[in-house]
């Protein structure tokens, strides 16, 4: 079938809306008409060449829409279902069976090669392939192919065009708190970086009843929003470590860093109690060397890297929507919508921070 997709032809190049031929769904796949798709930091990194993908390629991995067709063997979904798309996983390896599909042994093959596992492309222009399957979807397009594993059915009374970020950035921040750190009610937690991932962590900490939630960000507007969404204290990074140690003598129980630079990771470790736990989420490419003072760790402190919140989207996205219905996860306050045709403006606003979470809405 014909679709319109934002095609990247060279690193750091503009994304051009072009006609492509999209295959019908093969066994285990679903064809989704995209209603809206978020722009994530990982998309920006891929645009800049930090994710090695063959070109031309269609990016986008926070898609949501309506199933139009299903391939052989798909039983859980049918045409007309509203779905949020997330990362793909094999469902068969040991980590998938243990409930950690974000660490699937086939993750790279399924999500970041630009092809299906058998090497085929999902899109073409004439005889030339257009690479897709980015994070199992390539949803910077009017239609996308996904697998039944990474298409999560949601209630059709929800604003489907706004739900895509639940499949990546929001589940990453919230999952790091709710599933990885799992602080008890009354705990103390600090979040460094209040982009969409950090804001999701703040809302999740509020939902589980953390007593003190410190949000750290250089933007006064983001600090104000973090306070409204559940932070009990919002600080500028300059002097934040000293202020947190003064506010919570002995240090916080948990910290989340969403930036990925050495100084921010260091700060997130230095505010921890002994023992204390830090989750590092900031992605700056597959190779991002930082230094850690071993003294931060010797007193029982730990740091763990987290991808996609270490969650199973098939259950966790529903958990987030339940929190939303309860008034505890107001993710829509992070979103600014743009017409699909204005994708370059939306990406520019995401890079400058003018918009917290851009979402492209399809015609």
- pLDDT tens for residues 152-165? 999 999 999 999 99
Q: What CATH number is given to the structural domain containing 114?
A: 3.90.180.10
Q: Is there a single domain that holds both residue 157 and residue 30? A: yes
CA distances from 95 to 98, 104, 176, 307, 324 (A): 5, 6, 17, 13, 29
- How confident is residue 285, by pLDDT bands cut at 50, 70 and 90? low
In a domain, 323, yes or no: no
What pLDDT score does 288 carry?
82
What rounded mean pLDDT belongs to the chain?
Answer: 96
Domains in the chain, number: 2
- How confident is residue 50, by pLDDT bands cut at 50, 70 and 90? confident
Tens of pLDDT, residues 307-324: 999 999 999 999 999 999
Q: Is there a single domain that holds both residue 18 and residue 153? A: yes
Q: Is there a single domain that holds both residue 20 and residue 144? A: yes
H-run or E-run covering 266 = helix 262-270
H-run or E-run covering 48 = none
Task: Read off the pTM.
Answer: 0.95
Q: What CATH number is given to the structural domain containing 263?
A: 3.40.50.720
In this structure, the strands spanning 212-216 and 233-235 are parallel
In a domain, 317, yes or no: no
Tell me which residue range forms the domain holding 270. 173-306
Residue 264 exposure: Cα atoms within 13 Å on the Cβ side? 25
Q: Is there a single domain that holds both residue 45 and residue 185? A: no
Taking 80 as the threshold, does the pLDDT of residue 131 lie above it?
A: yes
CA distances from 80 to 65, 67, 94, 150 (A): 9, 5, 33, 17
Q: Is there a single domain that holds both residue 149 and residue 238? A: no
In a domain, 184, yes or no: yes
Tens of pLDDT, residues 217-244: 999 999 999 999 999 999 999 999 999 9
Q: Is there a single domain that holds both residue 12 and residue 64? A: yes
In a domain, 41, yes or no: yes
What pLDDT score does 110 carry?
95
Q: Is there a single domain that holds both residue 202 and residue 154? A: no
For the segment 339-353, the average pLDDT, to the nearest whole number, is: 96
For the segment 166-172, the average pLDDT, to the nearest whole number, is: 98
For the segment 184-200, the average pLDDT, to the nearest whole number, is: 98
Q: Is there a single domain that holds both residue 160 and residue 13? A: yes
């Amino acid at each position: 079938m014909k679709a319109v997709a934002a095609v990247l032809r060279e690193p750091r190049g503009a994304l051009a809306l072009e006609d492509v031929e999209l295959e019908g769904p093969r066994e285990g796949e679903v064809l989704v008409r995209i209603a809206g798709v978020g722009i994530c930091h990982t998309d920006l990194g891929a645009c800049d060449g930090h994710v090695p993908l063959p070109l031309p390629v269609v990016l986008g991995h926070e898609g949501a829409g309506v199933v139009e067709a299903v391939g052989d063997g798909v039983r859980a979904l049918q045409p007309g279902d509203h779905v949020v798309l997330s990362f793909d996983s094999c469902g068969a390896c040991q980590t998938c069976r243990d409930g950690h599909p974000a660490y699937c042994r086939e993750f790279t093959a399924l999500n970041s090669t630009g092809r299906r596992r058998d090497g085929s492309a999902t899109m073409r222009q004439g005889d030339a392939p257009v690479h897709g399957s980015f994070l199992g979807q390539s949803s910077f397009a009017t239609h996308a192919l996904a697998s039944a594993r990474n298409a999560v059915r949601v209630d059709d009374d929800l604003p489907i065009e706004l739900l895509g970020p639940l499949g990546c950035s929001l589940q990453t921040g919230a999952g790091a708190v709710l599933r990885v750190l799992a602080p008890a009610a009354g705990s103390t937690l600090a979040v460094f970086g209040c982009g969409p991932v950090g804001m999701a962590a703040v809302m999740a900490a509020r939902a589980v009843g953390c007593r003190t939630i410190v949000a750290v960000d250089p933007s006064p507007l983001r600090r104000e929003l973090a306070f409204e969404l559940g932070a009990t204290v919002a600080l500028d990074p300059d002097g934040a470590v000293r202020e947190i140690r003064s506010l919570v003598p002995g240090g916080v129980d948990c910290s989340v860093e969403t930036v990925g630079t050495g100084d921010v990771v260091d700060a997130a470790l230095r505010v921890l109690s002994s023992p204390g736990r830090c989750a590092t989420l900031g992605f700056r490419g597959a190779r991002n060397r930082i230094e850690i003072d071993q003294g931060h760790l010797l007193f029982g402190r730990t740091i763990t890297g987290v991808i996609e919140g270490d969650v199973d989207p098939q259950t966790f996205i529903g958990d987030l929507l339940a929190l939303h219905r309860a008034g505890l996860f107001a993710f829509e306050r992070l979103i600014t919508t743009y017409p699909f045709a204005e994708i370059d403006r939306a990406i520019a606003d995401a890079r400058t921070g003018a918009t917290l979470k851009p979402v492209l809405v399809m015609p």
